[in-house]
A and B are shown apart, each in its own frame.
Chain A
Amino acid sequence: MQGLRLAYNYLRIGIMNEFQYRANLYIQILQTFIALGTGLIGLNLVFSQTSELGGWDRTELLAVMGVFITMGGIIRAAIQPNMERLMEDIRDGLLDFALTKPADAQILISVREFRLWQLVDVITGMIVLGVALSQMNWMITVWSVLAFFSALMMGAVMIYCFWLIVTSTAFWFVRVHEIANLFEGLYAAGRWPVGIYPTWLRIALTFIIPVAFAVTVPAEALTGRLSLQTWLGALTLTIVLFIASRTLLKFGLRSYSGASA
């Protein structure tokens, strides 16, 4: 399986690269704790006024926060850096190198970058999630764990596809860097279960930017709210988004002209 071998080799290179910049680790830890701190304060403020929010109690929302931090870490470790590099390469013409390699272009452009220190967020998120689960009265079954991890995985794939679709537009529009900021702003909405938002925003966060599937749905799985229907819906959307993003990338590559030398 050449794809896996490529991913592994790029991962190795990415990790070696990150080891060169130890300061980044400390900065990342600091950032994670600040984000965690403000998140917890926000949560406490809300629950000093009320005992539940849109049907979610305090520990359940802590679980949502855990998933939010974990997913954010995954996105910033593996998805966003690759997409930002793709944008730059399209603009600078460096994509030439990737395209003259005997490998699937999509795999190649998706595994080239890896930010190891972002895993601090993934671990922290998991710890928050663990604390939340230990405080919950609900019995966790093997099924709910399986549902959680599958939902998390599908969520990550959907976010990846979303990014790829947006990034592929760079083939025609060249400058799409502002997208990164836009995404971060909208992703922040995932801190709360999408159910608490007005309908229009909920629909946008579900089908346009799949934040609902990336954060709320995995959290639903762990808190016993996930229906088979939603799970199948997530699976369908994952497949649709994947095919759409791959097709768009293919079209983009066809019209890629590269920056002239």
Chain B
Amino acid sequence: MLRYTLTRLASLAISLLVASAVIFLVVEVAPGDPAAYMLGLNAQPDTVAALRAELGLDVSRPERYLDWLGGMLTGDFGVSYTYRTPVAQMIADRLWVSLPLALYALTLSTCIAFPAGLLAASRRGKAADIGVTAATQLGVAVPNFWFAMLLVLLFAINLGWFSAGGFPGWDDPLAALKALTLPAIALALPQAAILTRVMRSSLLDTLGEDYIRTARAKGLSRGQVLWRHALRNALIPVLTIIGLQFSFLLAGAIIIEQVFFLPGLGRLIFQAISQRDLIVVESVVMLLVFAVITVNFAVDLAYAAADPRLRTRR
């Protein structure tokens, strides 16, 4: 297990390094000089040069890349071109909206998918199974931002149970959770549909195994077999998908935040794009990619811990 962890750790480091280089290069080829953009059309050349020096744009590209990389390792993401505030601070503020939203949605999606998948698998071919399968078919076809708009129409505009958007801050945790509820439901629905399908097919696979037949033959009831033997073994692929969904939810939150006017990472990145605040774009993208790669790494490790056969295979 140690050897496996070390190899995976090395490959994690390489992936992060390559990803950071790709992001830096893509942003570097962007036409336009941020300093000239900030100062406008009438800026004097020496003012632009002074600002370039201040922003650290006057050194060579490799140096700037190393600066950026070294800065990120120590939590210093640089200074926003537009707001002149530390990027790390801006991201941390926004993360307080996006991260709880993603976790909330993940919890909801799991709470929906587990019972639904279990129900469908245990009633295979019956009305309940057909109903759940049809619902998942619809769930994966509905764009989450449109579903979000329908939720607003029903629960905010017609019924008035929730506000249509905005975020009151975490001073009042209940109000904050309430503001995140509709966005979390919208975000969770398609993921719950996918998770339900995985849960159902994984359970059905497990229920077809020989040891399940043995357990039934020795006299256990269907329910006992399901709860004691099948569920635990069926959970491994389900947990993998839950891990993967977290990063999808974090990225998906970018769009949902637009529907509900939430001040999260999504709003930050779109503002930064329109203001050509490239250092913010660079850093938020790197953060999202970092989340995806690290979560995948954690899932791989958890998988290997649960199933020793995977440690020797690549």
Q: Do A and B originate from a single complex? A: no
Question: Which A residues form the contact surface with B (CB < 8 A)?
Answer: none
